[in-house]
Structure 1
Amino acid sequence: MLPNPTLDQLQVFLAVAESGSFSAAARALNRAQSVISYTIANLEAQVEMPLFERTGSRQPRLTEAGTAMLEDARRILSDLEIMRARVKGLKAGLEAEVAVAISVMVPADAMVDVLGEFREHFPSVSLRLDVGELGVVMDLVMSGRSTIGIGGAVLKQDDALVAERIGQSFMIPVAASHHALAKLGQPLTLADVREEVQLVVTDASGLTKGRDFNVLSYKTWRVSDVATKYYLIRGGLGWGGLPLSFVREDLESGRMVRLDLDAYEQRDYPIYAMRRLASPPGPAAAWMIEAFRSRLALCPTSADYLTGEAAAGAAAKVAAE
């Protein structure tokens, strides 16, 4: 018959291996040393091999078989702790899973920070993450596929949707530093950009069908996602608007430049926390909304960015003189 060690046996085995002695394990588990020795002996009988070398040393040492079993025992007991935490959370009303849809307009560093803290606060809660463009976030929430959405404008009024503004982001028109528009080195007019290829993201949700935002060129390449748009712009294949969080490092390094284009409407895009009215967030989802609110409050507005950019330009000019 195949060995069937009990969880108690594995716990005792792990205590002996980590404490270095039967007596130390007995103290840690508040048991008699004879009980510890008996449990280990039964475990060794179950697996039909010695797990500790007891001769020639005052302290038991793991055998080769014991060393091989150690990581398995740790993993099994760790999984047990996760299960216990999950059951405890479910009894307290904690969700088993949070499904969140996040807009590409949410700065990536803010998303990583919040989700990192979420993992620490709710280790037993599973996460399902979708990142989407334009109307995708709202569509995922309204369809019930996502518990909450952290995203941009509410594109369709619906009484079944609860949307609360928790921050803002903004797009800036950019091109690769070797692109023809960047080389002009001057404020741009509509005439300058009309014949240049503009990269535009299409809305997979269909909520913005027939509507274009800041599309100024006669020539457009339409792509399915912001990441593709970013790489094509960086490669010099066109120009377009991108969230500041996507291009901040490229602007600082000089790989890209912000286009001085008055015709491109540069305004703040509100970021909302969305949910269905019939599905109030549980403790973990509610925590996530507040964490995003706190983190996004630190993000600059478009006016802040442009003011800072102007100040940096003036300082550089003075330094050059």
Structure 2
Amino acid sequence: MIGNLSLDQLRVLVTIADTGSFSAAGRKLGRVQSAISQTIATLEAAQGVGLFDRSGHRPLLTDVGRVLVVQARLVLASAGRFEAVAAGTRDGLEPELTLAIDPLVPTAPLIDSLRVLSETFPDLPVSFSTEGLGGALRRLHSGSAALGICLLLPDVPEDIIAYPLLRIAMQPVVAPGHPLANLGRAATRGDLEPHVQLVLSDPVDPGGAAYGLTSARLWRFIDLGRRLDFLLGGLGWCRMPEHLVASPITAGTLVPLQIEDDPTPAGGLIIYAAHRRDHALGPAGRWLLHGLRNRLAIV
């Protein structure tokens, strides 16, 4: 009961709308028609509105009745999810699965596992966070995420269990109008230093550990998409995940750079699935981790 409103009243209202009559709703719900009529009369009296026009051969939904049927469906669906989450928790399922994903991580390789997760645990609430660099690890440490899909640089922390999933290649790029685009050779440190380097940064600790910094002029970004906008605008150079710049390079809106003695790993950066060593994953988290490792794990 919610005030003067009950889920049973809403269920009766929706059933009448679906079946087309009070008598049909009674048959579907296993009740006599008089009980159905009384339920709707009580609902109308409590809410102070007329839900049905009874002047014709068959009662018809009023304008407000049609609107409230839509609301009733939403409330009943929400109540169903409420009960399903409670039932899952009684059976040992975590009440929610929270995932933290680094901004550099490509979405496409994760989709199949997440789709099957949704099919396997249809009533499990899943929350995602994608923050600046370092955000996923920070959420794991704080306990606000159960599973991270993230970079772990320079090493895997001792309190984290991590499984390598995939590698992402990093491609240095500039806009075609940028001076570095016309070198005609591999760029040296001396070539790069005078130009703005667009750096993806940890929003909480922007002065923390940094990798691959070459230029003397750094513009720091939290949002990967915003950095790409500045890159396309010719306001600097940077290394970008290859999967994000392949199309702009093909279209000619970005130009690949070659860098002499580039410190970026030739095989690409490793993306891990990770969780805290002292926080065991729940059934859905273990299931997702197993699925990701089966689909993606690198040797």
Look up the match of 1:51.
51
Residues 71, 40 of structure 1: CA spacing in aligned structure 2 closer, same or farther, 3 A cutoff?
same
The 8 Å contact of residues 95 and 284 in structure 1, kept in 2 or not, is answered as yes
Q: Which residue of 2 aligns with 1:108?
A: 107
Indicate if the aligned counterparts of 1:199 and 1:233 stay in contact, CA closer than 8 A: yes
Letter matched to residue 240 of structure 1: C
What 5-or-longer segments of structure 2 have no aligned partner?
none
Deviations 1:233-292 (A, max 9, x none): 111011110112332332232211222334323432111111112211112222333454
> 1:17: Cα distance to partner?
1.0
Q: Tell me the number of residue pairs that the alignment of Structure 1 and Structure 2 aligns.
A: 295
**Aligned partners of 2:102 and 2:130 also within 8 Å:** yes
**Are residue 9 (structure 1) and residue 9 (structure 2) matched?**
yes
Q: Where does residue 195 of structure 1 map in the other structure?
A: 194
Q: What SS does the corresponding residue of 1:36 show, helix, strand or coil?
A: helix
Deviation per residue, 1:125-175 (Å, 9 max, x gap): 344433244433223212323211111135355443211112221211111
- Deviation, structure 1 residue 113: 6.3
Aligned match of 2:284: 284
C-alpha distance in structure 2 between counterparts of 1:147 and 1:46, whole Å = 45
Q: Which residue of 242, 247, 259 corresponds with 1:244?
A: 242
Cα distance in structure 2, aligned partners of 1:181 and 1:111: 35
Aligned to 2:170: 171
| Alignment map for 1:266-285 (pairs within 5 Å) | 266-285=266-285
Structure 1 runs of 4+ off > 6 angstroms? none
- Taking structure 1 as reference, are residues 46 and 28 closer, same or farther at Cα in structure 2, changes over 3 Å only? same
Partner Cα distance (2:280, 2:119) in 1: 23
Q: Per the alignment, in what secondary structure is the counterpart of residue 270 of structure 1? A: strand
CA 1:49–1:102 in 2, change beyond 3 Å: closer, same or farther? closer
1:37-186 alignment to 2 at 5 Å? Answer: 37-57=37-57, 59-110=58-109, 118=117, 121-184=120-183, 186=184
Q: Is the 8 A contact 2:96 2:126 kept in 1?
A: yes
Q: CA deviation at 1:21?
A: 1.5
Task: Give the equivalent residue in structure 2 for 1:18.
Answer: 18
C-alpha contact 2:173 2:238 (8 A) present in aligned 1: yes
Report the more deviating stretch, 88-97 or 107-116: 107-116
Contact 1:152 1:270 survives alignment (8 Å):
yes
Q: Which moved more, 1:271-280 or 1:150-159?
A: 150-159
Residue type at the aligned position of 1:51? L
Query: Structure 1: any 5+ residue segments left out of the alignment?
Result: 300-321
Contact 1:162 1:275 in 2 (8 A): yes
**% identity of equivalent residues:** 34
Q: If the length of structure 1 is used for normalisation, what is the TM-score?
A: 0.79
Instruction: Report if the CA contact (8 A) 2:163-2:293 is conserved.
Output: no
CA distance in 1, matches of 2:109, 2:207: 26
> Which residues of 2 match residues 197-276 of structure 1 at below 5 A?
197-204=196-203, 206=205, 209=208, 211-264=209-262, 265=264, 266-276=266-276
